[in-house]
Chain A
Amino acid sequence: MAKLVLPAGLLVLALLGVPMLLMLRYSFNSFDPLYLMKEAFTFGNYARAVVDPYYQKILLTTVAVALASTLLTTLLAYGPAYWLARMEGRWKSKLTILTMFPLLVGGVVRSAGYMALLSSDGLINATLRGLGLITVPLQLLYTPGAVVFATVGIVLPYMILTLASVIESIPRQVEDAAANLGARPGTAFIRVLMPLSLPGVLAGSTLVFILCMNAYATPLLLGGPQFQMMAPAVYDQFARASNWPFGAALAFLLLVVTVALTTLGSSVIARRYKAG
């Protein structure tokens, strides 16, 4: 077995680790307009990424959008996840597949779909105009709200499926027991279902938060050129400014902030529930 696992493990390590290490090394190089970069060992790129108010604002926007999207996704996903988890019979598998269906279509395509929904002559504006509710189209596209809305739509299936699998593992009898002992549905949810599904909430929101922090297509297509988030900013450095060292530094800054926030978030939530 070890003979089989070792080469596979090394391959995975090479595929995941080597490009990361390479990028890490690049982030300490210095930029050169002609030769892309000069070998160096400087913290200048990181210093610029951290100190520059322009990039601070981009990072802050990214964190704010990711937090808002994660929170909203969790709230929206719980109901459907519970419903799916407690469903029985042939509809259950059909609906599970239906939930996974959007994942078969890439985020770019789905973002484009949200563009068609939100643009000034899109479905929403056309409907509102058709109903005579508005005369001037509402500015829905190219707003932070559009980014959060579309991001939530895109990550929702991940959250529903993660939560559903955890809720499914909570015996229904435990919920019945709470009701039998006098807990109203709301109380039963807060005291029993919620704490027991916390691992799912944590896993789901961590996954979703990471996806949101690294969102590329959605902020680019729905936020418009004036709306800046980290992943497009990183891409900008690589593909437009050709500044690989600074792009790599921004990427690592994003990575570090994401890891720090997810660790902090899960430990705070876990502790709060243990204390309560």
Chain B
Amino acid sequence: MKSLELVNIRKEYGDAVAVDDMNMTIRKGELVSLLGPSGCGKTTTLRMVAGFVAPSAGSVLIDGRDVTHRPPYERNTALVFQSYALFPHMSVAQNVAFGLEMRRMPRAEREAKSLEALRRVRLDHLAERYPRQLSGGQQQRVALARGLVLNPDVFLLDEPLSNLDAKLRAEVRSEIRGLQQALELTTLMVTHDQEEALTMSDGLVLMAGGRVRQSGSAQDLYERPADAFVADFVGRSNVLEGRVEGGSFRMKDGTALPGTAVPTARYYTLRPEKIALTSPDQGVPGTLREVLYLGAQTEYTVLLGTTPVTVIRATPGPDDTLARLRPGDPVGLRWNSADARLLDS
């Protein structure tokens, strides 16, 4: 059963098109991330699902029902705001019970349910506190509990981790994913953070300029980017411009790269971790320009002709020949030509 469906959704503000003919489906119990740079239309899309923004055209279907023209309070969605938007004048328990109260659930029942929801996020001991007495992470969990206690048709997360510090982020990430899977919540998450999107989602929708650039699984987007923008946005990529000439790809500076069978291409994309660093005679020759030590990994910048190419390798041991490389040294780059993606746009 399809749980959330957006059909040819479009939103215009005056002359500006915020979302352009968008189609998307989330199956029941799945978490799909809307990913894209700021201003790409992902938040507008989320707000259209919640009912805060009326689409200029197209429809929003929840469980097959058309809710396009329903006000927010008549849609059974639960939105966790980026700022959490807890009610500062209500206790944690009152915040969580608010939605149930709006659904006219008897007091005893809603108190029991809110406490259960708070237990799920391990905050039942803070039920009588007020939001201002909680840490950022705790407030985030109250916001989650306030949404999931409603057993919503669609769970909506707006940049849920952006207000948390790096350490807490990983913890909350797995907590959200755990809850979402345990409760089988159909979830739409908006994020600009590709790592968040890659690690938490069943599916990804990458947007730019109000349009969907590519949708699919994390692997689809990472391994098989539809265009140079996707390749660059999802994970890191060397996007090298040039054209196909006589069976090989020639970059703008003239350097030829091992070819593939495609007849035309504008971009040659290659993930940094797919490239091996060898001696100059064993691969495409270049010059090492910079070595960046990142701990477990080391990042090398190599000039092929005049074009910089990034290579990421596991940091070599002290006896390894790679450990002796210095900027200015001649090196060779080698990769499996199947790992390179030649793209027209």
Give A contacts to B, CB under 8 Å: 171, 173-174, 176-184, 187-188, 191-192, 195-196
CB atoms of A182 and B83 under 8 A apart = no
Chain B residues, CB < 8 A from A184: 73
- Shortest 7 CB-CB contacts between residues of A and residues of B: A182-B102, A181-B99, A173-B85, A177-B85, A179-B72, A180-B79, A195-B89
Determine whether B150 belongs to the interface, using a CB cutoff of 8 Å to chain A.
yes
One of A176, A191, A195 near B85 (C-beta < 8 A): A176
CB atoms of A182 and B103 under 8 A apart = yes
Chain A residues, CB < 8 A from B86: 174, 177
CB atoms of B72 and A171 under 8 A apart = no
Measured between alpha carbons, how far is A184 from B74 in the docked complex, in Å?
Answer: 9
Known: A178-B98, A195-B89, A196-B89. A171 touches B146 (CB 8 A): no
Known: A181-B102, A196-B89. A176 touches B52 (CB 8 A): yes
Query: 16 pairs across A/B with beta carbons < 8 Å?
Result: A171-B85, A173-B81, A173-B82, A174-B86, A174-B88, A176-B52, A176-B81, A178-B87, A178-B98, A179-B51, A179-B52, A179-B72, A179-B73, A181-B73, A183-B102, A188-B73
Chain B residues, CB < 8 A from A181: 73, 78, 98-99, 102, 146, 150
Measured between alpha carbons, how far is A191 from B103 in the docked complex, in Å?
Answer: 14
Measured between alpha carbons, how far is A179 from B70 in the docked complex, in Å?
Answer: 12
CB atoms of B83 and A173 under 8 A apart = yes
Please give me the residue from chain B that is nearest to A198 by CB atom: B89
Using a CB-CB cutoff of 8 Å, which residues 37-86 of chain B contact chain A?
50-52, 71-73, 77-79, 81-83, 85-86
Chain B residues, CB < 8 A from A196: 87-89
Chain B residues, CB < 8 A from A173: 81-83, 85
Chain B residues, CB < 8 A from A180: 50-52, 72-73, 77-79
One of B50, B89, B102, B150 near A187 (C-beta < 8 A): B102
Known: A178-B98, A180-B77, A187-B102. A192 touches B87 (CB 8 A): yes
Q: Return B214 CB to nearest CB of chain A, in Å.
A: 29
Measured between alpha carbons, how far is A33 from B88 in the docked complex, in Å?
Answer: 61
One of A174, A177, A183 near B79 (C-beta < 8 A): A177
CB atoms of A171 and B83 under 8 A apart = yes
Chain A residues, CB < 8 A from B146: 181
Looking at chain A's contact residues, is the secondary structure mostly helix, strand, loop, or mixed?
helix
How many contacting A-B pairs (Cβ < 8 A)? 60
CB atoms of A182 and B81 under 8 A apart = no
Measured between alpha carbons, how far is A183 from B100 in the docked complex, in Å?
Answer: 10
Chain B residues, CB < 8 A from A183: 73, 98, 102
Q: Return B345 CB to nearest CB of chain A, in Å.
A: 36
Q: Return B15 CB to nearest CB of chain A, in Å.
A: 16
Chain A residues, CB < 8 A from B83: 171, 173
Q: Return B67 CB to nearest CB of chain A, in Å.
A: 13
CB atoms of A177 and B102 under 8 A apart = no
Measured between alpha carbons, how far is A206 from B217 in the docked complex, in Å?
Answer: 60
Measured between alpha carbons, how far is A187 from B150 in the docked complex, in Å?
Answer: 18
Q: Return B90 CB to nearest CB of chain A, in Å.
A: 9
Q: Return A141 CB to nearest CB of chain B, in Å.
A: 45
CB atoms of B72 and A176 under 8 A apart = yes
Using A176-B72, A180-B79, A182-B102 as known contacts, list a sample of 17 further A-B pairs with CB atoms less than 8 Å apart, ordered by residue number in A: A171-B83, A173-B85, A174-B85, A174-B88, A176-B50, A176-B52, A176-B81, A177-B81, A177-B86, A178-B98, A180-B50, A180-B51, A180-B52, A183-B98, A191-B98, A195-B89, A196-B89
Chain A residues, CB < 8 A from B87: 174, 177-178, 192, 196
Chain A residues, CB < 8 A from B50: 176, 180
CB atoms of B71 and A179 under 8 A apart = yes
Please give me the residue from chain B that is nearest to A192 by CB atom: B87
Please give me the residue from chain B that is nearest to A175 by CB atom: B85
Measured between alpha carbons, how far is A173 from B98 in the docked complex, in Å?
Answer: 15
Chain A residues, CB < 8 A from B98: 178, 181, 183, 191
Chain A residues, CB < 8 A from B85: 171, 173-174, 176-177
Using a CB-CB cutoff of 8 Å, which residues 143-167 of chain B contact chain A?
146, 150
Chain B residues, CB < 8 A from A179: 51-52, 71-73
Chain A residues, CB < 8 A from B102: 181-183, 187
Measured between alpha carbons, how far is A173 from B103 in the docked complex, in Å?
Answer: 20
Measured between alpha carbons, how far is A195 from B130 in the docked complex, in Å?
Answer: 15
Please give me the residue from chain B that is nearest to A187 by CB atom: B102
Measured between alpha carbons, how far is A206 from B87 in the docked complex, in Å?
Answer: 26
Interface string of B275-295 (1 = CB under 8 A from A): 000000000000000000000
Please give me the residue from chain B that is nearest to A182 by CB atom: B102
Q: Return B192 CB to nearest CB of chain A, in Å.
A: 18
